[in-house]
């Protein structure tokens, strides 16, 4: 017999998924349209010898609606994608899947970066942050005499 370790987070996620499915089955798409879905942009983080690069997918957003800030070694990207809802008198909406509203993503910066020199570029729906690295602080080993 194989024992499986109990994971309460996995159990709660499964319950939440089932509740969502029940509401979707009962209310259909009208229920989905009636609520604002929470969203956050997909992010890729890479690095080379000199920089850390963070790329966030923000399609359909205006540059003025994106805010990037650093406070206490925490990098935060936030903003709002405005809804493009328009009234159609004769037409129908068949499916609305794009998500609108506010978002906020935060990342803890490592010790070896210079937060004051972070640069940001927004092009073709992708926000690219270049985070320059500094020399890594070398830890000193100190021997303490035991008395």
Model's pTM, two decimal places? 0.63
In order of start, what are the domains of the chain with their CATH numbers? 9-37 (no CATH), 39-85+94-136 (2.60.40.790)
pLDDT tens by residue, the chain, 147 residues? 566 666 666 677 777 778 877 776 665 544 444 444 567 899 999 999 999 999 999 998 889 999 999 999 899 999 988 876 665 556 676 776 777 788 999 999 998 999 999 999 999 999 999 999 988 666 677 788 888
CA distances for 147 relative to 76, 143, 144, angstroms: 48, 13, 9
Contact 52/133 with Cβ under 8 angstroms?
yes
Contact 120/68 with Cβ under 8 angstroms?
yes
| Closest to 44 in 3D by CA, of 32, 58, 56 | 56
The residues pairing with 74 across neighbouring beta strands, listed in sequence order, are 71, 108
């Amino acid at each position: 017999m194989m024992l499986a370790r109990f994971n309460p987070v996995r159990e709660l996620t499964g319950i939440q998924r089932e509740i969502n499915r029940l509401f979707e089955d009962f209310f259909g798409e009208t229920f989905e349209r009636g609520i604002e879905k929470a969203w956050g942009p997909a992010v890729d983080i890479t690095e080379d010898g000199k920089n850390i690069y963070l790329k966030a997918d923000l399609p359909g957003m205006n540059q003025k609606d994106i805010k990037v800030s650093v406070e206490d070694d925490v990098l935060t990207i936030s903003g709002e994608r405005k809804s493009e809802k328009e009234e159609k008198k004769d037409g129908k909406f068949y499916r609305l899947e794009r998500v609108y509203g506010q978002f906020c993503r935060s990342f803890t910066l490592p010790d070896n970066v210079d937060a004051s020199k972070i640069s940001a570029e927004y092009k073709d729906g992708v926000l690219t942050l270049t985070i320059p690295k500094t020399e890594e602080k070398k830890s000193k080993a100190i021997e303490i005499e035991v008395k």
